Structure 1
Amino acid sequence: MPDTIFASSVFFTLSIAGDDLGTFHTCDGLGAQLEVEQFAEGGNNGFTWQLPSRISWSNITMTRPVTSDSGKILTWLNKVIQQADRKDGEIVALRPDLTPLVRWQVLGIIPIRWQGPSFDPSRSQAAVETLEFSHEGLQAS
């Protein structure tokens, strides 16, 4: 079957420096923006050169309901607090049958924000946590 059939059923795993942080239901922010400098060449009136410059990578935000893996994020955050080294990681999009759909190597990850769940017994919603991190680049693997 084509991969697009599973687009609404995809979920994600995240590992950083070999540490498995578990499964997430959403992954947002896989993207980049390339700055372009314009250069007008003398004698060329037909177009202006568009020269690539810097690339900016979007922060990635992942969310999931609270699970037994939720403590793994705090363990990772505490490691970063003790020694703020950027670590490489991997995001894997999985089909419902757990086979990988696509993998992204994420370079130089550093956490930006973790939002723990809100527990409100008057609302019948799952307790959700959110992890946002910056990085230095993506590579397909």
Structure 2
Amino acid sequence: MAETEAVAVCFVVKIDDKSLGVFNSCDGLGAEFVIEQREEGGNNGMVWQLPSRIKYSNVKLSRPVTKDSAKITRWFSEMAGGISRKTATIEARTLEGTVIASWSLDGVVPVRWSGPQLSADSPKVATETIELAHHGFLGSGRGN
């Protein structure tokens, strides 16, 4: 059986198993260690590079405005009464719906939603973007 190439056509997003729909762009899946530099007295030939903590970048998902757009505004409205962290799953899928990779994010909260910029002078596709912050990856996904 041949492996599926990592060419994603869409990204399916769920928050605590509630679908937010399909997105055509996903940016920011990543992590980095914060490195602290320490100089050692008497050792002028090097500087110690010590990993301290890990930082996770915010994830930005974009798509054309659809009926699913109401799911995002509903989620934001629910959070207005008090923030509760959720678990999110992002699945990269092919045109046929085959899951290529998936990432499970822990402690997700919405950071920002930006809706379409509508103008009669510019007949572009109306798009929206949601930005999510999280506390890290859970180990059960295929992309982790």
TM-score, with normalisation over the residues of structure 1? 0.85
Name the residue aligned to 1:122.
121
| Equivalent residue, structure 2, for 1:53 | 52
- Pairwise CA RMSD: 2.2
5+ unaligned residues in a row in structure 1: which ranges?
Answer: none
Stretches of 4+ aligned residues off by more than 4 angstroms: 38-49
Task: Say which is worse superposed, 31-40 or 59-68, in terms of deviation.
Answer: 31-40
Structure 2 residue aligned with 1:137: 136
Aligned to 1:102: 101
Higher helix residue share: 1
TM-fit CA distance, 1:50: 3.7
Q: Write the distance in 2 (CA, Å) between the matches of 1:87 and 1:77.
A: 13
Q: 1:48 to 1:118 in 2, by over 3 A?
A: closer
**Residue in 2 aligned with 1:83?**
82
Equivalent pairs counted in the alignment come to: 139
Deviations, residues 6-54 of structure 1 (Å, cap 9, x unaligned):
62x5210111112100000000000111012345679989866543211
Per the alignment, residue 12 of structure 1 pairs with 11
Mapped partners of 2:120, 2:3: distance in 1: 41
CA distance in 2, matches of 1:130, 1:19: 18
Indicate whether 1:31 and 2:33 are aligned.
no
1:83, CA displacement in angstroms? 2.1
Q: Which amino acid aligns with 2:16?
A: A
In structure 2, the gaps of 5 or more residues are none
Question: Percent same amino acid at aligned positions?
Answer: 40
Structure 1: how far apart are the matches of 2:117 and 2:39? 55
How far has the Cα of 1:139 moved from its partner?
A: 3.2
Partner SS state of residue 124, structure 2:
coil
The amino acid across from 2:96 in the alignment is: D
Give the letter for the 2:80 counterpart: I
